[in-house]
Amino acid sequence: MKIWTSEHIFNHPWETVTQAAWRKYPNPMNPAVIGTDVIDRKVVNGVLHTHRLVSSKWGFPKWAQALIGHASVCYASERSEVDPTNRQMVLKTRNLTFCNYIAVDETLRYMPDPRDAGKTLLTQEAVVTVQGVPLTHYMEDLLTSKISFNAGKGRQAMEWVIGKIELEVKDLANTAVKSTDELLFQTRRQLDDLTSKTRKSMDDLQHAAKKSFDEIHNLTTPPSSQSMPKL
């Protein structure tokens, strides 16, 4: 059995980090993860319980494949709890494939940084157990170094997802601003249109009224003597 632990602080509040945790995959740092499926999800006493099946493509060295068998796609079971009241998110993952020989139990905990509530502390623990195959210790060491390497990539991935979410929020704000501008512009243009149309109508009306008035005037004014036909 081999235990590996690590800590990391994200410069983002817990709420942002937990949102990103759900959207961690796909990311360019962990291309091995090819699928996540929610098997079960429910809210119990204000805590969100989720069971996911995580599918990934693992590249085991050939010699290891000979010992534990070959599997192109590996499956892992991930159980998580999110407690928004106490601001805790815990994810526990165990591999399903190679269950007979290898067990990798990984636990991730996201909580507010005790020194700064605006930051998030991640504690990560992995327990690797290899049984029933030769070179047990060697295999455990190999897996542990692989986990250590992947943990770094996982944290980079989280930052990448957070950046993406922040960009989306900014985009949304930009779109909203643009819409408001657009709306103002449209309204102004319509108002201008309306004004010019009204002005035109008024002019037309005045012109028509003047014409009618002149006509009436013409009718009521007795024709001048010059225009009288000579008898």
Partner 1 sequence: MNSIGETCNELKKQYDSCFHVWFSEKFLKGDTNDSMCAPMFKVYQQCVKKAMKEQHIEPKDIEINHLGTEEEKTPPRS
- Name the site residues for partner 1 (rule: CB under 8 A): 1, 15, 18-19, 22-23, 25-26, 33-39, 41-43, 46, 48, 51, 53, 55, 75, 77, 79, 82, 84, 92, 94, 96, 99-103, 105, 129, 131-132
Other Cβ atoms less than 10 A from the Cβ of 110: the count is 23
* CB neighbour class for 165 (10 Å; exposed up to 12, middle 13-18, buried from 19): middle
**b/e per residue 71-95 (b: at least 16 CB within 10 A):** eeebbbebebebeeeebbbebebeb
- Residue closer to partner 1 (CB basis): 39 or 183: 39
Q: Which two tokens stand for residue 112?
A: 């507010």
- Residue closer to partner 1 (CB basis): 97 or 156: 97
- Residue closer to partner 1 (CB basis): 33 or 122: 33
Give min distance, CB of 82 to partner 1, in A.
8
Give min distance, CB of 88 to partner 1, in A.
13
Q: Which amino acid is at 73?
A: V
For 25, 31, 95, the CA distances from 109, given in Å and listed in that order, are 18, 23, 18
Give min distance, CB of 55 to partner 1, in A.
5
- Residue closer to partner 1 (CB basis): 60 or 95: 95
